[in-house]
């Protein structure tokens, strides 16, 4: 476990380098106090960066894994701020009950199935020094709701930034925005190109849907040592909702 923590800390440092330019761009775009949705919050790493670099009005944070959520809750309590609301459920395409594959290296936990024949999967097990591939994860039941449902229930009129890091579930999250995509100014998400996570969509599917909604890509950045990219899209049809 100690070795796994060391590997995770190294990856976090590399991610910091990549995310710094993204958050710098967002800080130039978001001049006023921002409402942020953090979908796939893990332990609150991105929340901490947003809170430090951006002017925050409110952060709604979502973490499907109950294991990760317990740590997230402890970390958020350190801020002691009414600006944060955190929720222990997933966001997806429709209301449902499902499972999350909780991995030992917790930031890779995913609702999607894992491809145990993937070379990338075996490479990760080797790096983490895990000999039994069946010990890498366990299935935990979770609840899924849609962004549309949450937005309507909370009567949210505008979202300045929707950040999505859900390990292969990003397209499902966005598809749950059928009625409220116009109220979102920016979407920032990660997409994996390796075959370790089994997905029923490709990046082009996300890109087509976002273009249909009126979003335009303004940044693409490769993550270090991984077959993953981070993207930022801006909404050309943004319109605040009135209640």
Q: Angle 213-216-13 (CA atoms, 0-180°, nearest 5)?
A: 115
Query: Residue 190 in contact with residue 228, Cβ under 8 Å?
Result: yes
Beta-sheet strands, E only, within the chain: 34-39, 56-62, 84-87, 90-91, 96-103, 137-145, 159-164, 184-192, 215-222, 228-235
> What pLDDT, on the 0 to 100 scale, is given for residue 207?
98
For residue 46, what are its two tokens? Answer: 């991105």
pLDDT, tens digit, 9 for 90 and up, residues 191-202: 999 889 999 999
Q: Give the DSSP H or E segment for 26.
A: helix 2-29
Do 71 and 48 meet the contact criterion of CB atoms below 8 Å apart? no
Rounded to an integer, what distance in angstroms lies between the CA atom of residue 145 and that of residue 197? 22
Q: What percent of the chain has pLDDT over 90?
A: 70
Percentage of the chain modeled with pLDDT above 70: 93
**How much is the average pLDDT of 158-168?**
97
Q: What is the pLDDT of residue 7?
A: 52
> Euclidean distance between the first and final Cα of the chain, in Å?
49
3-class secondary structure per residue, 33-69: CEEEEEECCCCCHHHHHHHHHCCEEEEEEECCCHHHH
Domains of the chain: 2-235 (3.40.50.150)
- Which pLDDT tens digit goes with each residue over 56-77? 999 999 999 999 999 999 999 8
* Per-residue pLDDT band at 242 (split at 50, 70, 90): confident
Alpha carbons 88 and 67: distance in angstroms, whole number = 10
Checking if the pLDDT of 12 tops 70, the result is: no
Q: What is the mean pLDDT of residues 167-184?
A: 96
Q: Say if residue 221's pLDDT is above 60.
A: yes
Is pLDDT above 60 for 6? no
Lowest average pLDDT, out of 68-72, 216-220, 225-229, goes to 225-229
Strand 56-62 versus strand 90-91 pairing type: unpaired
Residue pLDDT, tens place only, 138-150: 999 999 999 999 9
Work out the pLDDT band at 9, boundaries 50, 70, 90: low
**Closest by CA position to 148, among listed 94, 220, 87, 112:** 94
Specify the higher pLDDT residue, 85 or 134: 85
């Amino acid at each position: 476990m100690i070795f796994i923590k060391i590997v995770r800390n190294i990856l976090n440092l590399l991610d910091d380098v990549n995310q710094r330019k993204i958050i710098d761009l967002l800080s130039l775009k978001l001049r006023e106090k921002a409402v942020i949705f953090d979908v796939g919050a893990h332990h609150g790493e991105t929340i901490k960066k947003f809170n430090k670099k951006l002017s925050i009005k409110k952060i709604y944070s979502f973490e499907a894994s109950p294991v990760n959520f317990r740590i997230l809750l402890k970390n958020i309590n350190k801020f002691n701020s009414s600006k944060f609301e955190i929720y222990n459920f997933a966001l997806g395409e429709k209301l449902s009950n499902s499972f999350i594959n909780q991995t030992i290296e917790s930031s890779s936990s995913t609702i999607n199935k894992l491809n145990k024949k993937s070379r990338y999967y075996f490479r990760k097990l080797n790096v983490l020094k895990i000999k039994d591939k069946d010990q890498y994860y366990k299935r935990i039941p979770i609840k899924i709701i849609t962004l549309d449902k949450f937005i309507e229930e909370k009567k949210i009129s505008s979202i300045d930034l929707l950040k999505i890091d859900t390990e292969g579930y990003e397209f499902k999250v966005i598809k749950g925005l059928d009625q409220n995509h116009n109220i979102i100014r920016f979407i920032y998400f990660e997409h994996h190109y390796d075959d370790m996570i089994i997905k029923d969509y490709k990046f082009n599917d996300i890109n087509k849907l976002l273009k249909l909604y009126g979003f335009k890509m303004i940044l693409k950045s490769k993550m270090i040592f991984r077959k993953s990219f981070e993207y930022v899209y801006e909404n050309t049809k943004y319109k605040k909702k009135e209640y």
